[in-house]
Amino acid sequence: MNGGDEVVATPAGPTLPLEWKFSQVFGERAAGEEVQEVDIISAIEFDKSGDHLATGDRGGRVVLFERTDTKDHGGSRQDLETMDYPLSRHPEFRYKTEFQSHEPEFDYLKSLEIEEKINKIRWCQSANGALFLLSTNDKTIKFWKVQEKKIKKISEMNVDPSKAMGNGCVASSSNSNNPRTYIANGGSLDNSCNHLSDDFTFPSGGISSLRLPVVSSHETSLVARCRRVYAHAHDYHINSISNNSDGETFISADDLRINLWNLEISNQSFNIVDVKPANMEDLTEVITSAEFHPMHCNMLAYSSSKGSIRLVDLRQSALCDSHAKLFEEQEAPGSRSFFTEIIASISDIKFSKDGRYILSRDYMTLKLWDINMDSGPVAAFQVHEYLRPKLCDLYENDSIFDKFECCLSGDGLRVATGSYSNLFRVFGCGPGSTEATTLEASKNPMRRQVPTPSRPSRSLGSSLTRVVRRGAESSGVDANGNSFDFTTKLLHLAWHPTENSIACAAANSLYMYYA
């Protein structure tokens, strides 16, 4: 500025690839140990603060973990900053509690078994030191409150409980074979003849050691209590639930309908999206996932089995598709095959933290969509392109119908999703980024590292209209020459909301990594 010099802002360079390191594992199984079906993790979710993590499994259990590395040094982040304490430690968690959320049920009307498997978990706003969360199986959503409660015990009783005290007698456990049982208001009940005995007499001079019982709290225990049950609103399996930013409502979605609930009202919901045709033979697509916008309480997005995403404004008629903004990628001419629609089906969608982008995962790719551009995705990342020649085999063993989840970093610069052989992939989506990292869910995440593509890719910032495609160079063999295992799959993972930390599930084990 001084002397007429012009200050020119230099554009920020591409973000460097992160170096991921192993942090923790919970439920690690020994070599050769058989995994029980009920112990396989089926849902993972961080709360908004990142201080708590919840997992659900196929046995209907919900397990909670809490962060410990910030508690070790006491106080909030602001307090630590005033103490000039370096916040360089990675997130560390410990087991907090677990509870049985759902039990197996049977629908006698339809003669169908309802699995206890937890499909989704969503955290709600905490209040008064209590944690609140929603969990759902195929048919029923439950609202849970987890809170520390003091265990109350009666103490300071009379000196010897085996002797007669006060206005009655107490029988000790050592005298449990005595046929005579003492009762509260004097006298006793003779078990042999079932009549009251009045042979009790007060000692002369009274009882010098008589003390009144006192209720005291010695320790605390975590108690999970089901506050509400939201049931009988879905004819088809619930595939997703999502909290609204207003803190009062949430949505639940099945194959054909999306319902809006109030957290305080469990016996009533409103159908806001319905794709069920008058004749089921005309059904061409189903709802696969639904998510509320993180900032606008009247906006939500849902994906379909045809690979499209619709953005709905609840202030208009959500039941009418003409009012929804449609996002879909045009099919390349001559590329259609028997598997086209199957692999195009979107299994999961996530909004970025600011709500500007939507991340979607279909069987082969991750796609990033700008909600202001409905012409196509602004970036696409090939997750396991080496599987394309093997689609027939994957169709035969039903692996082609696996539903992989996806997640975004809190700063929106990276995305992640799972694959087979317990691998997961992290892609950079910032301007100029070529990051495409492959990691394994093990204590050595870089053991099966696949080299990053050597050819340059167009950045997201340079041309939003041209799709970025990365990661397609991976072969069916890893860097060590090992073939990929299609029976082990990493379906569920979650990114910490404020830090570069990922939690992912490999069968019954929960692995955590940081960068």
For residues 121 and 136, what is the distance between their CA atoms, to the nearest angstrom?
Answer: 7
Q: Give the residue from 506, 491, 504 showing the smallest Cα distance to 514.
A: 504
Span 28-44, mean pLDDT? 90
What are 305-323's pLDDT values in tens digits?
999 999 999 987 656 565 7
Looking at per-residue confidence, does 477 or 481 come out higher?
477
Number of Cβ within a 10 Å radius of residue 276: 15
Q: Please count the helices (runs of H) and the strands (runs of E) in the chain.
A: 3, 34
Span 208-237, mean pLDDT? 86
pLDDT reported for residue 185: 43
Percent of the chain with pLDDT over 70: 74
Give the global pTM. 0.80
**DSSP conformation letters of 325-373:** EEE-PPPPTT---TTHHHHH---EEEE-TTSSEEEEE-SSEEEEEETT-
What are 53-104's pLDDT values in tens digits?
999 999 999 999 999 987 655 555 555 555 554 455 678 999 999 999 999 9
For residues 363 and 344, what is the distance between their CA atoms, to the nearest angstrom?
Answer: 7
Are 358 and 327 in contact by the 8 Å Cβ rule? The answer is: yes
For residues 318 and 325, what is the distance between their CA atoms, to the nearest angstrom?
Answer: 11
What are 414-431's pLDDT values in tens digits?
999 999 999 999 999 988
For residues 169 and 160, what is the distance between their CA atoms, to the nearest angstrom?
Answer: 11
What secondary structure letter does DSSP report for 420?
B
Query: How distant, in Å, are the alpha carbons of 254, 270, 285, 318 from that of 274?
Result: 10, 11, 12, 8
What secondary structure letter does DSSP report for 175?
G
What are 130-146's pLDDT values in tens digits?
999 999 999 999 999 99
